Amino acid sequence: MSAADLRIVLLGCPGAGKGTQANSLCERYGLAHLATGDIFRGEVAADTALGREVGAYMKRGALVPDEVVNKVVAAKLDTLRGGWLLDGFPRTLPQARELDRCLEGAGHKIDVVLSLQMRPEEVVRRMSGRRSCPACGEVYNVQSRPPKAEGKCDKCGGALVQREDDKEATVRQRLKVYEEMTQPLVAYYRARGALREVDGSRSPDEVAQALLGIVDPIVSSRSGARA
């Protein structure tokens, strides 16, 4: 099995830097990046029926119902051939069980679940500084990654905004939802021996290094086993 066949789940509360780390892992190992939050934001922006259904949940920091999310993910997974990384899914125990069921049906399994750990106060501090470009999707942080010109996207010149779900009250609500609904997945995957935890409060480069330190040996052991 090559790196391209890796199947990774990335867990972490809102603001733990999942998106950034997902991008670099996918690039390094040639994985498809499946981010349910991005899929839903795309549907909202395109004002599709699905977008209208999920938009209201997202705005108030609530989870989209499991049946809706599971259907979207199952359809996407069906179209993917090589390895993938799931970012933002599963987020509840029923979603995790449904994922197991889908994978079992296809004769696949998750290679590793990477969990980015962060303290809630650090998350609130980080997320309240977050600004995004509605035109191209680029994300900045007024503290740690400011744009070159204030309020303007470096990439496309678009006017940066604070996403509704990055506002403090919504962030606190999303953290509460994470604690209640998603934190139990840590124990679920730990019990299966698939979980590896990393301190998400360090710099993005340090977190990336820690993640590579976990995934590289998995890839090497695969190539070794094959040789």
* DSSP annotation string for 66-108: HHHHHHHHHHHHHH--S-EEEES---SHHHHHHHHHHHHHHT-
Q: How far apart are the C-alpha atoms of 15 and 29, rounded to whole Å?
A: 23
Nearest residue to ligand AMP, scored by beta-carbon proximity? 37
Tokens of 145: 């990654």
* For ligand AMP, the closer CB: 171 or 219: 171
**Catalytic member of 7, 41, 126, 130:** 130
Listed residue (211, 223, 198, 195) closest to 28, CA to CA: 211
Q: How far apart are the C-alpha atoms of 171 and 196, rounded to whole Å?
A: 25
C-alpha 215 chain-centroid distance: 17
Q: Which residues pair with 32 in a beta bridge?
A: 84
**Catalytic member of 7, 41, 91, 126:** 91
**Catalytic member of 163, 167, 172, 202:** 163
How distant, in Å, are the alpha carbons of 64, 67, 71, 72, 99 from that of 50? 11, 12, 11, 10, 21
State the nearest-atom distance from the C-beta of 85 to ligand AMP, in Å.
Answer: 13
* For ligand AMP, the closer CB: 37 or 83: 37
Residue type, 27: E
State the nearest-atom distance from the C-beta of 83 to ligand AMP, in Å.
Answer: 20
* For ligand AMP, the closer CB: 136 or 149: 136
Listed residue (28, 91, 43) closest to 219, CA to CA: 28
Told to judge if 130 belongs to the known catalytic residues of this protein, a careful annotator would answer yes
State the nearest-atom distance from the C-beta of 38 to ligand AMP, in Å.
Answer: 7
Q: Which residues bind ligand AMP (CB under 6 A)?
A: 14, 36-37, 40, 57-58, 61-64, 69, 88-89, 91, 95, 165, 174
Told to judge if 163 belongs to the known catalytic residues of this protein, a careful annotator would answer yes
Told to judge if 131 belongs to the known catalytic residues of this protein, a careful annotator would answer no
* For ligand AMP, the closer CB: 7 or 174: 174
Told to judge if 148 belongs to the known catalytic residues of this protein, a careful annotator would answer no
Is 133:45 a contact under the CB 8 Å cutoff? Answer: no
* For ligand AMP, the closer CB: 3 or 34: 34
State the nearest-atom distance from the C-beta of 203 to ligand AMP, in Å.
Answer: 21
Catalytic residues: 18, 91, 130, 163, 174
